[in-house]
Every structure is written in C-alpha cells, then in structure tokens.
C-alpha cells in the first residue's frame, strides 16, 4: 500500500496544480478584459466625437468632420479605423483604403463591442454606436488593431506563467516540508515501537497529535495487558510448582511402602514417574527464583543483570565454591530482557552444575549480542555435542538435571535467527558455549 506521505503529497500536488491552472486562466482573462475595456473607452471617445461632429446641410444631407478625432485615422493602415453609415451610405476612414470593414448594425441609442477581421486579417476590436440625427439613422463604428495588445498580453502571460510556476513549486516544496513535519510524530511512534519490541521501553510516549492519541493509548493498553499476563503466567507457574512439592514428597514416600515389595515393577515405574515430575517441579521453582524478582526495566544493562544473576546462582549452588568472572559492558542495551535473562540463566545454571570452581561469563556487542560461557568442568565429548539441545536428553545421569536448559536456549536462539556453538574452552579446559543473537529480528 502506498505510504501516507506519498498519498498526501500526490493529493496536495494535484489540488495545487488544478488551483493554479484555474487561477492562471482567470488572471489571463482578467488581464485581457482590462486591456480591451481600456481600448473600448478610447473607441467610445472617438465614436462620440464623430457623432458630435455631425451636421445637417440645406440639401437634407448629414455631414461629419473627422478633424475632431485623432489624425491616426487618416494614415494608411494605421490600425485605427472608423466607418460611418448614414442610412444606407457608408463613409470609411482614409486609413481603411478600399478595405470593406464588416461591422454589425445596431439600433438607435444602442452600442455593441465585438471582434472583427481587419486588413490583412488583423484582429480588430470594434465599437458600434447607434443614433438618429436630423431624421437619419446613423451607425458609427470605430475599430482598433488588437495585434499590439495581443503582443503585450502574450508577454504578460508568459511572465505571469513563470511567476505562477515559481509560486507553485515553492508551495509544493513548503507543503512537502509541512507534511514531513506533520508526520514526524508517527515516525517517533514507530521508533518507540521498535524500542518496545527490543525491550528498551514498555510504553509509547503520549505526546502525539490528537488524531493519533487513541491509537497510542490502545497500543499502550495492549502492552500493559501483555506484560501483566506474562507476569501472571510466570507467577502461576511458580505457585503451581511450589504447590506440587508436598504431594510429590508423599508420592515418593508411598513408593517406599512395604506393600510394593511384592511388585518391584510397579515401585520402579512409580518411582521413575515421581522423579520425573519432581525434576520438572524443581526446574520451574528454580526458574521462578531466577526470574521471579525481575522487574521490567526500560533497558537491559548486561553488567548489572549478570551480576544479579551471579548472586542468585551462587545462593542456589551454595554448596560449591564457585568463582564466576563476569565481563560485560555497563551500557544500556535495547533487547528483550526476559529472553536474554532466560538464555543467561540457563547457560549459567548449566555451567554452575558442571564447573569445579571457575566460570567465565562474557557478553560482548560484536555486530549483535555475543554470549560466551566457559567452565572448568569435564566438558563434553565431540560426538555428544549434537545431542545437547535435544529436550530431555541427559548425557550424564549422575548430575542432577532435566536436560531442558540448553533446549530452551536453542529455542530462543532460533526464534531470533541467531546461532549457538558448543566446544571446549582453551583457557579453562571445560565446556564452552557461544550464543550469537542479532540486535534486530
């Protein structure tokens, strides 16, 4: 779909173009009408001068005196002509030579302004006046060549067209700038939405135009709803796991009842399923302890978050003397905090489980988020690396665990189109896992 900026721009340009074309045509008509009006006034002065020069002779003849008007009517093809018609007899001006001027007849006390063709097809503006003098019907037609006026009007028309185009393009430029300025709040909203998607903020700013305000309020409402339901889901998961602890202990003790001595197969199955449920319960409780006290923050600070996570895990693995070294920037990082904490929590939990004493954690910004977690534990054989991310697959049953942590990490990494690598740490000699996540999905 066409962008709103292009749609507004094209619509305004089309409207402006139509308005300026109509304006230019109207201005051209006004200029020409004003010029012809001025010319008609001169023709009327000359026509009435001729009309006042009419005289009556004793032979019942009407005569006129052309000396009462400009001498330009006596110069050959001067562009200024007249023709006096007394009854049926026409008297053309000397400037017409023998050219028959085609004029319109009007009644007494009437006048008519019109266009006609003059000598050599020159355009003429003609004014004809009608009168009755001395009992004779008289029409006086005065004409002037429009060629010079047309030339002047064409020059004015071209100059005005240039001025109109200059104003039109200036107006289009100003409108484009104004549209861009008016749509700037939408660009701000889009940038803030990207920050929300990246975990940089939880709400969109409310300083937006009134037309966009309902949309922003609705989005903020949905964001609050998502956060609240996520928190409720995690709390419910932790509560459920905690509530299942006592029934699970009872089930485990039930498996030790002497009544099952005769059915070792039932005792084994009961014990196996009870242990599997207990592992799940302990895992969810551990997740709740790691993430339960985390409050949504406007941005993710890798250093402080990993330090907090380190304290939590040291409390969980208090029976082990672990030296956890953290290398992470102290800058704010716009990323989904919950997903990143899930990845870090599972990787560090796995490292704490297998490490003898030392764990190195590094979070670096190398075109994206790169997490490296290494320990000084036994590591993993190369042939077993492919099974690490399979849910429920445990390579060593002697250590407590459920085989889900690395599978969860792998799922999150795949969601972000990232990559996860396993190997052996050259420094500590144990397991090394490297996770690479792009900053933008």
Q: Output the pLDDT for position 383.
A: 74
Q: What per-residue confidence (pLDDT) applies to 71?
A: 83
How would residue 269 be classed by pLDDT, with cut points 50, 70 and 90? confident
CA angle 405, 334, 373 (to 5 degrees): 35
Q: What tens digit of pLDDT does each residue of 64-96 get?
A: 877 777 888 888 888 899 999 988 888 888 888
Report residue 155 CA to chain centroid gap: 44
Strand order of the sheet with strand 369-375?
A: 323-327, 358-365, 369-375, 431-437, 419-424
pLDDT of residue 290: 53
**pLDDT exceeds cutoff 60 at 400:** no
pLDDT tens digits for range 318-345 = 888 889 999 999 888 777 777 788 889 8
pLDDT at 391: 52
pLDDT for the residue 307: 92
Can you tell me the distance from the alpha carbon of 105 to that of 127, in angstroms, rounded to the nearest whole number? 11
Q: What average pLDDT does range 204-229 have in this prediction?
A: 82
Q: What tens digit of pLDDT does each residue of 188-208 get?
A: 888 888 777 766 677 887 677
**What would the mean pLDDT of 277-301 be, rounded to a whole number?**
61
pLDDT computed for residue 248 by the predictor: 74
Confidence check: pLDDT of 387 > 90: no
What is the mean pLDDT of the segment spanning 46-54? 87
For position 201, what pLDDT does the model report?
Answer: 74
pLDDT (mean) for 242-246: 71
Does the pLDDT value for residue 402 go beyond 50?
Answer: no
Q: What is the mean pLDDT of residues 236-261?
A: 76
CA 37 vs CA 125, 271, 346, 402: distances in Å: 10, 113, 93, 101
Per-residue pLDDT band for 288 (boundaries 50, 70, 90) equals low
pLDDT confidence of residue 287:
62
pLDDT band at 292 (very low <50, low <70, confident <90, very high): very low
């Amino acid at each position: 779909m066409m962008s709103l900026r292009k749609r507004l721009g094209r619509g305004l340009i089309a409207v402006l173009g139509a308005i300026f074309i109509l304006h230019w045509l109207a201005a051209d008509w006004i200029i020409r009408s004003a010029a012809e009006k001025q010319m008609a006034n001169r023709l009327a002065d000359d026509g009435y001068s001729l009309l006042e020069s009419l005289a009556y002779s004793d032979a019942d003849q009407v005569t006129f005196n052309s000396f009462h008007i400009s001498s330009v009517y006596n110069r050959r093809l001067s562009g200024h002509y007249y023709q006096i018609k007394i009854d049926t007899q026409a008297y053309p001006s000397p400037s017409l030579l023998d050219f028959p001027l085609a004029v319109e007849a009007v009644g007494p006390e009437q006048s008519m302004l019109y266009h006609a063709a003059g000598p050599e097809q020159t355009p003429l503006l003609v004014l004809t006046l009608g009168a009755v003098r001395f009992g004779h019907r008289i029409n006086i037609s005065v004409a002037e060549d429009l060629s010079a006026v047309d030339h002047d009007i064409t020059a004015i028309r071209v100059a005005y067209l240039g001025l109109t185009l200059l104003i039109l393009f200036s107006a289009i430029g100003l409108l484009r700038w104004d549209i861009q300025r008016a749509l700037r709040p939408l660009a701000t909203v889009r940038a803030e939405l990207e920050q929300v998607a990246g975990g940089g903020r939880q709400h969109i700013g409310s300083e937006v135009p009134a037309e966009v305000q309902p949309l922003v309020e609705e989005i903020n409402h949905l964001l609050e709803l998502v956060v609240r339901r996520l928190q409720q889901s995690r709390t419910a998961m932790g509560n459920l796991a905690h509530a299942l602890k006592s029934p699970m202990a009872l089930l485990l003790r039930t498996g030790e009842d002497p009544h099952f001595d005769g059915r070792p197969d039932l005792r084994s199955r009961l014990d196996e399923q009870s242990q599997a449920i207990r592992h799940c319960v302990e895992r969810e409780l551990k997740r709740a302890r790691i993430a339960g006290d985390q409050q949504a923050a406007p941005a993710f600070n890798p250093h402080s978050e990993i330090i907090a996570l380190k304290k939590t895990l040291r409390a969980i693995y208090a029976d082990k003397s672990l030296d956890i070294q953290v290398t992470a920037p102290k800058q704010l990082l716009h990323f989904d905090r919950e997903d990143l904490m899930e990845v870090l929590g599972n990787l560090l939990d796995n490292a704490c489980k297998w490490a003898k004493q030392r764990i190195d954690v590094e979070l670096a910004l190398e075109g994206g988020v790169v997490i490296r977690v290494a320990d000084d534990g036994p590591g993993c054989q190369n042939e077993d690396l492919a099974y690490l991310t399979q849910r429920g697959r445990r390579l060593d049953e002697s250590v407590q665990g459920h085989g889900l942590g690395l599978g969860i990490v792998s799922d999150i990494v795949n969601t972000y189109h990232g990559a996860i690598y396993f190997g052996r740490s050259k420094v500590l000699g144990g397991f090394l896992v490297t996770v690479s996540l792009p900053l933008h999905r």
